Amino acid sequence: MRHHRSGLLRSFLFVFCCASVGASAAELVVNGSFEANGGVNTNTFTGWTEADQSGGSGSIFVQTGTTAPSLNPITVPAPPLGSFAAMSSQTGPGSHLLYQNITIPAGFSAKFFAKVYVNNQAGAFSTPASLDYTVSPNQQARIDIMSTSSSTTDVGAGVLLNVYRTQVGDPTVSGYNTITADLTPYAGQTVRLRIAEVDNQSFFQFGVDGVSVISGSPIPTLSDWALIGLGIAVLAIGFVAVRRQMRPV
Protein backbone atom coordinates (compact mmCIF):
# COMPACT_ATOMS: atom_id res chain seq x y z
CA MET A 1 0.00 0.00 0.00
CA ARG A 2 2.85 2.37 0.79
CA HIS A 3 4.27 1.98 -2.73
CA HIS A 4 0.85 2.53 -4.28
CA ARG A 5 0.21 5.59 -2.12
CA SER A 6 3.59 7.20 -2.94
CA GLY A 7 2.99 6.51 -6.63
CA LEU A 8 -0.33 8.30 -6.47
CA LEU A 9 1.26 11.28 -4.74
CA ARG A 10 4.00 11.48 -7.40
CA SER A 11 1.37 11.41 -10.12
CA PHE A 12 -0.63 14.20 -8.50
CA LEU A 13 2.51 16.29 -8.02
CA PHE A 14 3.45 15.81 -11.67
CA VAL A 15 0.02 16.97 -12.84
CA PHE A 16 0.17 20.00 -10.56
CA CYS A 17 3.64 20.98 -11.76
CA CYS A 18 2.56 20.66 -15.37
CA ALA A 19 -0.42 22.86 -14.63
CA SER A 20 1.65 25.54 -12.91
CA VAL A 21 3.16 28.50 -14.78
CA GLY A 22 6.92 28.12 -15.12
CA ALA A 23 9.33 30.85 -14.06
CA SER A 24 12.21 32.39 -15.95
CA ALA A 25 14.27 35.54 -15.63
CA ALA A 26 16.19 37.68 -18.08
CA GLU A 27 18.02 41.01 -17.76
CA LEU A 28 16.81 43.52 -20.35
CA VAL A 29 19.11 46.47 -19.61
CA VAL A 30 22.54 46.57 -21.23
CA ASN A 31 25.33 47.60 -18.85
CA GLY A 32 22.99 48.72 -16.08
CA SER A 33 25.88 48.73 -13.58
CA PHE A 34 27.96 50.99 -15.90
CA GLU A 35 31.01 48.75 -15.56
CA ALA A 36 31.65 48.92 -19.34
CA ASN A 37 32.63 52.50 -20.05
CA GLY A 38 35.16 54.83 -21.65
CA GLY A 39 37.05 55.53 -18.43
CA VAL A 40 36.61 57.66 -15.32
CA ASN A 41 35.45 61.23 -16.03
CA THR A 42 34.32 60.34 -19.56
CA ASN A 43 30.65 60.32 -20.53
CA THR A 44 30.82 57.11 -22.56
CA PHE A 45 28.78 54.12 -21.34
CA THR A 46 28.42 50.94 -23.38
CA GLY A 47 24.76 50.40 -24.34
CA TRP A 48 23.71 53.93 -23.39
CA THR A 49 23.43 57.27 -25.19
CA GLU A 50 24.49 60.37 -23.25
CA ALA A 51 23.25 63.78 -24.39
CA ASP A 52 23.71 67.30 -23.02
CA GLN A 53 21.72 70.41 -23.86
CA SER A 54 23.71 72.72 -26.10
CA GLY A 55 25.33 75.68 -24.37
CA GLY A 56 25.20 74.14 -20.90
CA SER A 57 27.92 72.95 -18.56
CA GLY A 58 28.79 69.43 -17.49
CA SER A 59 27.54 65.96 -18.35
CA ILE A 60 26.80 62.56 -16.85
CA PHE A 61 30.18 60.99 -16.25
CA VAL A 62 31.75 57.69 -15.24
CA GLN A 63 32.37 57.87 -11.49
CA THR A 64 34.37 55.59 -9.20
CA GLY A 65 35.62 55.64 -5.61
CA THR A 66 34.35 58.34 -3.26
CA THR A 67 35.03 61.42 -5.35
CA ALA A 68 32.52 62.98 -7.75
CA PRO A 69 33.54 63.54 -11.39
CA SER A 70 36.31 66.07 -11.83
CA LEU A 71 34.25 69.20 -12.67
CA ASN A 72 33.05 69.35 -9.06
CA PRO A 73 35.04 66.72 -7.14
CA ILE A 74 33.19 66.62 -3.82
CA THR A 75 33.11 63.53 -1.60
CA VAL A 76 30.31 61.11 -2.52
CA PRO A 77 29.37 57.53 -1.62
CA ALA A 78 31.20 54.79 -3.50
CA PRO A 79 29.24 53.00 -6.23
CA PRO A 80 26.99 50.47 -4.47
CA LEU A 81 27.44 47.81 -7.18
CA GLY A 82 30.79 47.11 -8.81
CA SER A 83 33.42 49.79 -9.33
CA PHE A 84 31.53 52.39 -11.35
CA ALA A 85 28.39 54.52 -11.32
CA ALA A 86 26.97 57.20 -13.61
CA MET A 87 26.96 60.67 -12.00
CA SER A 88 26.22 64.19 -13.15
CA SER A 89 28.73 66.97 -12.54
CA GLN A 90 29.03 70.56 -13.79
CA THR A 91 30.52 74.00 -13.25
CA GLY A 92 27.39 75.88 -14.29
CA PRO A 93 23.79 75.41 -15.50
CA GLY A 94 23.09 72.42 -17.74
CA SER A 95 20.74 69.60 -18.67
CA HIS A 96 21.90 66.00 -19.10
CA LEU A 97 20.33 62.74 -20.33
CA LEU A 98 21.32 59.09 -20.35
CA TYR A 99 19.05 56.64 -22.14
CA GLN A 100 18.63 53.32 -23.93
CA ASN A 101 15.77 51.39 -25.53
CA ILE A 102 14.66 48.06 -24.10
CA THR A 103 12.20 45.49 -25.43
CA ILE A 104 9.95 43.80 -22.88
CA PRO A 105 8.90 40.33 -24.10
CA ALA A 106 5.20 39.87 -24.78
CA GLY A 107 3.40 37.79 -22.18
CA PHE A 108 6.04 38.21 -19.48
CA SER A 109 6.21 40.25 -16.30
CA ALA A 110 8.92 42.90 -15.91
CA LYS A 111 10.33 44.72 -12.87
CA PHE A 112 12.49 47.85 -12.81
CA PHE A 113 15.22 48.44 -10.21
CA ALA A 114 17.80 51.19 -9.71
CA LYS A 115 19.87 52.82 -7.00
CA VAL A 116 19.97 56.62 -6.93
CA TYR A 117 22.04 59.19 -5.04
CA VAL A 118 21.34 62.92 -4.78
CA ASN A 119 23.50 65.81 -3.64
CA ASN A 120 21.72 69.01 -4.56
CA GLN A 121 23.94 71.87 -3.44
CA ALA A 122 21.21 74.42 -4.18
CA GLY A 123 19.45 73.41 -0.97
CA ALA A 124 16.05 72.95 -2.64
CA PHE A 125 14.47 71.32 -5.68
CA SER A 126 12.57 73.14 -8.42
CA THR A 127 10.52 70.88 -10.69
CA PRO A 128 8.91 72.61 -13.68
CA ALA A 129 7.57 70.40 -16.47
CA SER A 130 10.73 70.93 -18.49
CA LEU A 131 14.26 69.59 -18.85
CA ASP A 132 15.49 72.88 -20.33
CA TYR A 133 18.09 74.50 -18.11
CA THR A 134 17.14 77.95 -19.45
CA VAL A 135 13.75 77.56 -17.73
CA SER A 136 14.38 79.04 -14.28
CA PRO A 137 14.32 77.85 -11.61
CA ASN A 138 14.96 74.25 -12.63
CA GLN A 139 16.80 71.90 -10.30
CA GLN A 140 15.65 68.30 -10.58
CA ALA A 141 16.37 64.69 -11.52
CA ARG A 142 14.04 62.03 -12.86
CA ILE A 143 13.92 58.55 -14.40
CA ASP A 144 11.21 57.74 -16.93
CA ILE A 145 9.87 54.94 -19.10
CA MET A 146 9.07 56.57 -22.43
CA SER A 147 7.67 56.00 -25.87
CA THR A 148 10.48 55.57 -28.38
CA SER A 149 8.65 57.86 -30.81
CA SER A 150 8.79 60.84 -28.45
CA SER A 151 11.52 63.44 -28.07
CA THR A 152 14.24 62.40 -25.65
CA THR A 153 13.51 65.58 -23.64
CA ASP A 154 9.72 65.07 -23.50
CA VAL A 155 8.09 65.25 -20.06
CA GLY A 156 4.50 65.10 -21.34
CA ALA A 157 2.60 62.50 -23.33
CA GLY A 158 5.80 60.70 -24.28
CA VAL A 159 6.35 59.64 -20.68
CA LEU A 160 4.60 56.31 -20.15
CA LEU A 161 5.67 55.99 -16.53
CA ASN A 162 7.70 58.20 -14.22
CA VAL A 163 9.56 55.84 -11.90
CA TYR A 164 11.54 58.47 -9.99
CA ARG A 165 11.49 62.24 -9.61
CA THR A 166 12.90 64.63 -7.07
CA GLN A 167 10.12 66.65 -5.48
CA VAL A 168 9.98 70.07 -3.84
CA GLY A 169 10.63 69.49 -0.15
CA ASP A 170 12.63 66.28 -0.62
CA PRO A 171 15.93 65.93 1.27
CA THR A 172 18.60 67.52 -0.90
CA VAL A 173 21.29 65.02 0.08
CA SER A 174 20.81 61.28 0.48
CA GLY A 175 22.85 58.11 0.10
CA TYR A 176 22.02 55.55 -2.56
CA ASN A 177 18.40 54.43 -2.27
CA THR A 178 16.70 51.63 -4.19
CA ILE A 179 13.70 52.41 -6.39
CA THR A 180 11.44 49.88 -8.07
CA ALA A 181 8.55 49.88 -10.53
CA ASP A 182 6.34 47.33 -12.27
CA LEU A 183 6.79 47.44 -16.05
CA THR A 184 4.54 44.47 -16.80
CA PRO A 185 1.90 46.72 -18.48
CA TYR A 186 4.47 47.40 -21.23
CA ALA A 187 5.06 43.75 -22.11
CA GLY A 188 5.35 43.35 -25.87
CA GLN A 189 6.65 46.91 -26.35
CA THR A 190 9.99 48.56 -26.97
CA VAL A 191 10.33 51.49 -24.57
CA ARG A 192 12.98 54.07 -23.77
CA LEU A 193 14.55 54.13 -20.33
CA ARG A 194 15.69 57.71 -19.62
CA ILE A 195 17.73 59.20 -16.79
CA ALA A 196 17.67 63.01 -16.63
CA GLU A 197 19.27 65.72 -14.48
CA VAL A 198 18.93 69.48 -14.90
CA ASP A 199 20.38 72.30 -12.80
CA ASN A 200 20.47 76.09 -12.92
CA GLN A 201 20.50 76.98 -9.22
CA SER A 202 23.75 75.38 -8.09
CA PHE A 203 25.81 72.20 -8.44
CA PHE A 204 23.89 68.92 -8.48
CA GLN A 205 25.46 65.46 -8.29
CA PHE A 206 22.91 62.84 -9.29
CA GLY A 207 24.29 59.30 -9.18
CA VAL A 208 22.73 56.15 -10.61
CA ASP A 209 23.83 52.52 -10.37
CA GLY A 210 22.35 49.03 -10.65
CA VAL A 211 19.79 49.93 -13.32
CA SER A 212 17.93 46.73 -14.12
CA VAL A 213 14.77 45.50 -15.79
CA ILE A 214 14.13 41.84 -15.07
CA SER A 215 11.72 39.96 -17.29
CA GLY A 216 10.33 37.23 -15.08
CA SER A 217 7.49 34.74 -15.06
CA PRO A 218 5.01 34.45 -17.91
CA ILE A 219 1.81 36.41 -17.30
CA PRO A 220 -0.89 33.76 -16.62
CA THR A 221 -3.58 33.57 -19.30
CA LEU A 222 -7.11 32.25 -18.79
CA SER A 223 -5.98 28.84 -20.03
CA ASP A 224 -3.06 28.90 -17.57
CA TRP A 225 -5.41 29.59 -14.68
CA ALA A 226 -7.67 26.78 -15.89
CA LEU A 227 -4.72 24.37 -15.84
CA ILE A 228 -3.70 25.52 -12.38
CA GLY A 229 -7.28 25.04 -11.18
CA LEU A 230 -7.31 21.55 -12.70
CA GLY A 231 -4.05 20.72 -10.95
CA ILE A 232 -5.42 21.84 -7.59
CA ALA A 233 -8.61 19.85 -8.15
CA VAL A 234 -6.63 16.70 -9.02
CA LEU A 235 -4.49 17.16 -5.92
CA ALA A 236 -7.60 17.47 -3.78
CA ILE A 237 -9.16 14.34 -5.28
CA GLY A 238 -5.92 12.45 -4.88
CA PHE A 239 -5.63 13.50 -1.25
CA VAL A 240 -9.11 12.20 -0.53
CA ALA A 241 -8.38 8.92 -2.33
CA VAL A 242 -5.17 8.35 -0.39
CA ARG A 243 -6.94 9.08 2.89
CA ARG A 244 -9.58 6.48 2.06
CA GLN A 245 -6.94 3.88 1.23
CA MET A 246 -5.26 4.50 4.56
CA ARG A 247 -8.45 3.74 6.55
CA PRO A 248 -8.40 0.39 8.33
CA VAL A 249 -10.77 -2.23 6.93
Counting the structural domains of the chain, the total is: 2
Predicted confidence (pLDDT) per residue in 1-58, tens digit: 444 444 444 444 444 444 444 456 899 999 999 999 999 999 999 999 999 999 999 9
Asked whether residue 50 falls in the same domain as residue 71, the answer is yes
Residue 11's pLDDT is what?
A: 43
Asked whether residue 80 falls in the same domain as residue 30, the answer is yes
Residue 236's pLDDT is what?
A: 54
Asked whether residue 167 falls in the same domain as residue 229, the answer is no
Asked whether residue 86 falls in the same domain as residue 125, the answer is yes
Going through the chain in order, the beta strands assigned E by DSSP cover 26-27, 49-52, 59-64, 84-89, 94-103, 108-120, 139-147, 159-165, 173-182, 190-199, 204-218
86: containing domain:
26-218
Q: What is the mean pLDDT of residues 194-223?
A: 89
Per-residue pLDDT band for 222 (boundaries 50, 70, 90) equals low
Q: What is the pTM of this model?
A: 0.81
Asked whether residue 150 falls in the same domain as residue 232, the answer is no
User: Omega into 137 within 30° of 0, i.e. cis?
Assistant: yes
Contact yes or no for 146/190 (Cβ under 8 A): no
Asked whether residue 226 falls in the same domain as residue 117, the answer is no
Per-residue pLDDT band for 110 (boundaries 50, 70, 90) equals very high
Asked whether residue 171 falls in the same domain as residue 80, the answer is yes
Residue 3's pLDDT is what?
A: 47
Residue 33's pLDDT is what?
A: 98
Q: What is the mean pLDDT of residues 215-220?
A: 76
CATH number at residue 130: 2.60.120.260
What's the chain's average pLDDT? 87
